Amino acid sequence: MPSDCALRVAGQIHSWREGSCVTFDDTFEHEAWNRSPFTRVVLILDSWNPDLTEAERAAVTDLVEAIGDFTRRASWPPTRPDRRRIGSSENGASRRRFPVSAGCDAAQ
């Protein structure tokens, strides 16, 4: 694991450790960085926060889709075909992102 990689969630910084996983609720303000000269590969698994009701899940889904639609429409210059965005399909539709919760040490 490159030494200068970290994740900030809700103002708290969490560093990755080899052999450990990090989970967080991405409805909190967050950012990740890799300031090292090395490649960092991250496996992202999305799942619902078990505390959300069906109505809250529907609201989050609608919000995330609207943000994705806005981001795609506002993107300029258009993404070149040889530089597709990670997480987008061949037709340009982004995969959905949802709040996560898992059985690892959680960052909030």
**43-70 tens-digit pLDDT:** 888 888 889 999 999 998 999 899 889 9
**List of residues 6+ apart from 85 with CB closer than 8 A:** 79, 94
pLDDT tens digits for range 17-38: 888 888 888 878 999 999 999 8
Domain ranges, ordered by start, for the chain: 5-107
pLDDT value, residue 76: 60
Which pTM does this prediction carry? 0.52
Query: How many helices and strands (H and E) does the chain possess?
Result: 1, 5
Question: What Rg do the C-alpha atoms of the chain give, in angstroms?
Answer: 16
